[in-house]
Amino acid sequence: MEFSVPILSRWVSRLTKRNIFASVSRSTVHTGSASSKEEIENESDVRVHEDIPKAPLYPGHIPTTLAQKVLISVGSALAAITDPFRDDMVAVFGETTGTLAFRELHKIMSNDPEGRQILRDRPRIHTSTLDLDYLRQLPEETFGHAYYRFLADNNVTPDSRLAVQFVDDPELAYVAQRYREVHDLIHTLLEMPTHMLGEVTVKWVEAIHTKMPMCSTGALFGAVRLRPKQRRDYVSSHLPWALRVGYNAKNLMCVYYEKHWEMPLLELQHSLNIEPFPRKQSMQDHMPSLQKSGLVA
């Protein structure tokens, strides 16, 4: 049978909805005697489950072996590369390849006062924890209002972020979930839109701050899909800026975003050492000098 990307995609999609591995150990090899059959079944149980946690470690957790994680990683990576808008495949790839990155992020957050507070409080970002009407009514220059405007302009909701399933440690699972839920906040903080160029730019910053293979892969392969005009902007301005922000700004996983809603966006950027994006000057920007020269009234 041909093992194509669509088949892998459907298989991983089903896996994320239910733990199919529970049924793997129940498969048996039919032999001539019942005792032999039972013995083989027991050996299969041990072999399949030897490196899987005995029970789910948190709600929604799907325990998997290293071999199973590798298979899931390959399938989700191929599906995500083929269709970058498959958020479910991108999420699965991030979980199954990010263990080392999550450990390092947990260490970084533990050594930062604000990051440590996040790990203690474990805040979640979805409509049941956010007062969107409050954010809407904040002054336009605030970070909170900018986030509300980002959600409204892009017709997105915080509830669209999937729950972590394949990370075999509750502490690291929260780090992975936190990364997933602050992604739109990072977009807001960096003032980057959600088109391909904006996503690739944000992914470079995230790749430097999180060291997640998923972010690095997204940044590299996403750049390949840029249109010619976007590619020119990417090389001339977006990529150099993203690298400077990535290496110079405070780690964005250590920002307790929920405590900065009322802070002016520019002030928050400055406090995190985020360099303003080098936007092209418009005709309005040049108007004072043009008026002074007498070229316009």
Q: What one-character-per-residue DSSP string does 72-121 give?
A: HHHHHHHHHHH-TT-HHHHHHHHHHH-HHHHHHHHHHHHTSHHHHHHHHH
Termini Cα distance of the chain? 74
The answer to whether 62 touches 21, Cβ cutoff 8 Å, is: yes
Q: Which segments are annotated as binding site?
A: 183-184, 187, 199
Q: Name the β-bridge partners of 264.
A: 142
Please give the Cα distance from 79 to 283 (Å, whole number). Answer: 44
Domain ranges of the chain: 1-96, 98-277
Residue 25 CA from chain centroid, whole number:
32
Phi, psi of 199 (to 5 degrees): -65, -45
Residue 207 CA from chain centroid, whole number:
10
Give the per-residue pLDDT at 291. 53
**Mean per-residue pLDDT pooled into runs of 10, the chain (297 residues):** 46 52 39 46 44 79 92 90 83 95 98 98 96 97 98 93 95 98 98 95 98 94 93 97 98 98 98 90 42 48
Between the CA of residue 42 and those of 31, 38, 62, 63, 186, what are the distances in Å? 14, 6, 22, 19, 49
Give the per-residue pLDDT at 80. 82
Q: Which segments are annotated as binding site for Zn(2+)?
A: 183-184, 187, 199
Please count the helices (runs of H) and the strands (runs of E) in the chain.
Answer: 15, 0
